[in-house]
């Protein structure tokens, strides 16, 4: 394993120290660990908080700033953070209008954020949790823990962050976030495994001529392996998995102010005529030039399928350490989503 690290035990902490040094507009706290806007709390504004295992940078810490997240809770590499981090972060950023937890659908993240929501609510802070579960590689919500939260997370943080900045209250932020999640779908392809620092060796072995299809963001195996193919083939496969994905129904648990309420949500499939944001993401080790080849194919497939790409985002935004590969996210937009997508944002990882 070759990485720009010192002791594997301190990887996350030292990277956060670097962030704190580089970005005085952020505050980084340890014990418990979280990041927040240095100008938090912002009175009267809904505070948006996310978090999850580290190793996906710039997500989430790099998205803290004006027009996006108020705070982020980084766990160890690929390990969910703990409720005490989330509670401390929520308290630091709540400006009286409540806190929205934006949670990727992994069992660990979900349960830790649920505990945090209960504790934050018990402290008299308004709180809401919204799940992101957009990975179409997972077909089934009855036999699995449901779709994983992947690329749509980045788009949701941007869009809901802008809405909060524009004065949306907690309920409207939650509704918008839920809608963005329901409008977004993703699919990922790995060319190489990542290497978790603590493990010191690649998570899985992938032959020189193989790719792993339908991956998540933790180096977990995907749905299947394929022989390496031209980017046209790989990008088309990913795009079609997303665009041809049928309606998806599952039950989510949301905090309703007093307790947990189950909601049955159905994501409708894409339809001809839809306008979309196209997000082509690097898994970390793939350089941006190659992403443009993916985008080229994606644009052609969208055109065939009658989808109009109205905005795009291309680069490494939700990564899996040093993994080579890409993911595609398509997000259907309406005027509300588009307005907030276009709003200004100033964070280390995304600026507009």
Partner 1 sequence: MHKSQILDWLRRLDQVYTEKKDYLTDLDAAIGDADHGINMTRGFAKVMEKLPEVADKDIATILKTVGMTLMSSVGGASGPLYGTFWLKGGLAVDGKEALSAEDFLRMIEAGVDGIRQRGRPEPGDKTMYDLWAPVVAALKTRAGNGDDVAALVAAILPVAAKALADTIPLQARKGRASYLGERSIGHQDPGATSSYYMLETLNEALA
- The residues binding a copy of itself (CB under 8 A) are 2-7, 11, 14-19, 21-22, 54-55, 57-58, 62, 191-192, 208, 211, 228, 230-232, 234-235, 284-296, 299, 312, 314, 316, 319, 321-322, 324, 326, 348-349, 351-352
CA distances from 144 to 137, 147, 181, 203, 246 (A): 12, 8, 19, 22, 17
CA distances from 16 to 55, 99, 154, 323, 337 (A): 12, 23, 20, 21, 31
Strand pairing report for 184-190 and 210-213: antiparallel
Which residue, 184 or 216, has its beta carbon nearer to partner 1?
A: 216
Residue 252: CB minimum distance to ligand ADP, A: 14
Residue 175: CB minimum distance to a copy of itself, A: 29
Out of 71, 83, 151, 284, which residue is the one contacting partner 1 (CB under 8 A)?
83
The Cα–Cα gap between 319 and 331 comes to 19
Both ends of the chain: CA-CA distance in Å? 36
CA distances from 323 to 54, 207, 282, 287 (A): 14, 14, 9, 11
Residue ranges with strand state E in 207-272: 210-213, 224-227, 248-255, 260-267
106 binds partner 1 (CB under 8 A): yes
Which residue, 108 or 202, has its beta carbon nearer to ligand ADP?
A: 108
Nearest position to ligand ADP, beta carbon:
108
Strand pairing report for 248-255 and 224-227: unpaired
Residue 277: CB minimum distance to a copy of itself, A: 12
The Cα–Cα gap between 314 and 339 comes to 19
202 binds partner 1 (CB under 8 A): no
Out of 13, 29, 84, 338, which residue is the one contacting partner 1 (CB under 8 A)?
84
Distance of CA 29 to the CA centre of its chain: 22
User: Based on C-alpha coordinates, what's the Rg of the chain?
Assistant: 19
56 in active site: yes
Residue 274: CB minimum distance to partner 1, A: 28
Q: What is the DSSP letter of 351?
A: B
Number of residues that bind ligand ADP (CB under 6 A): 2
218 in active site: yes
Which residue, 13 or 91, has its beta carbon nearer to a copy of itself?
A: 13
Nearest to 284 by CA among 216, 210, 194: 194
Q: Where are the alpha helices (DSSP H) in the chain?
A: 11-22, 83-93, 107-122, 152-165, 170-183, 231-243, 288-305, 335-342
Residue 91 in tokens:
């308290």
312 binds ligand ADP (CB under 6 A): no
Distant-in-sequence, close-in-space partners of 218: CB < 8 Å, separation ≥ 6:
53, 55, 78, 106, 320
221 binds ligand ADP (CB under 6 A): no
221 binds partner 1 (CB under 8 A): yes
165 binds partner 1 (CB under 8 A): no
Binding mask 40-59 for partner 1 (x = CB under 8 A): -------------x------
115 binds partner 1 (CB under 8 A): yes
108 binds ligand ADP (CB under 6 A): yes
Among all residues, which ones are annotated catalytic?
Answer: 56, 218
Residues that bind ligand ADP (CB under 6 A): 107-108
Residues that bind partner 1 (CB under 8 A): 32, 53, 75-76, 78-85, 106-108, 111-112, 114-115, 138, 142-145, 148, 198-199, 203, 216, 218-221
């Amino acid at each position: 394993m070759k990485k720009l690290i010192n002791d594997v035990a301190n990887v996350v902490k030292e990277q956060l120290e670097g962030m704190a040094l580089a970005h005085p507009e952020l505050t980084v706290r340890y014990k418990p660990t979280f990041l927040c806007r240095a100008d938090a709390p912002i009175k009267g504004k809904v505070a948006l908080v996310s978090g999850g295992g580290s190793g996906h940078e710039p997500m989430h810490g790099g998205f803290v700033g004006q027009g996006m997240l108020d705070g982020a809770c980084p766990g160890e590499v690929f390990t969910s953070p703990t409720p005490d981090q989330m509670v401390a972060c929520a308290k630091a950023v709540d400006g009286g209008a409540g806190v929205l937890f934006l949670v990727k659908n992994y069992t660990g993240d979900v349960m830790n954020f649920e505990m945090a929501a209960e504790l934050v609510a018990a402290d008299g802070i308004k709180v809401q949790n919204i799940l992101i579960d957009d990975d179409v590689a997972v077909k089934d919500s009855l036999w699995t823990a449901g779709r994983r939260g992947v690329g749509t997370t980045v788009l949701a943080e941007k869009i809901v962050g802008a809405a909060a900045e524009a004065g949306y209250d907690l309920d409207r932020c939650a509704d918008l976030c839920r809608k963005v999640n329901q409008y977004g779908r993703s699919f990922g392809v790995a060319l190489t495994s990542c290497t978790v620092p603590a493990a010191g060796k690649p998570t899985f072995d992938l032959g020189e001529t193989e790719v792993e299809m339908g991956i998540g963001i933790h180096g977990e195996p995907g749905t299947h392996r394929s022989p390496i193919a031209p980017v046209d083939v790989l990008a088309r496969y990913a795009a079609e998995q997303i665009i041809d994905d049928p309606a998806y129904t599952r039950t989510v648990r949301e905090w309703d102010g007093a307790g947990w309420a189950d909601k049955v949500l159905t994501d409708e499939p894409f339809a001809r005529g839809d306008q979309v944001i196209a997000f082509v993401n690097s898994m970390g080790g793939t350089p941006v030039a190659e992403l443009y080849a993916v985008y080229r194919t994606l644009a052609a497939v969208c055109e065939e399928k009658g989808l109009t790409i109205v905005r795009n985002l291309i680069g490494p935004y939700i990564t899996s350490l040093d993994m080579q590969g890409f993911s595609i996210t398509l997000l259907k937009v309406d005027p509300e989503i588009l307005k907030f997508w276009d709003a200004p944002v100033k964070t280390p990882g995304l600026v507009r």
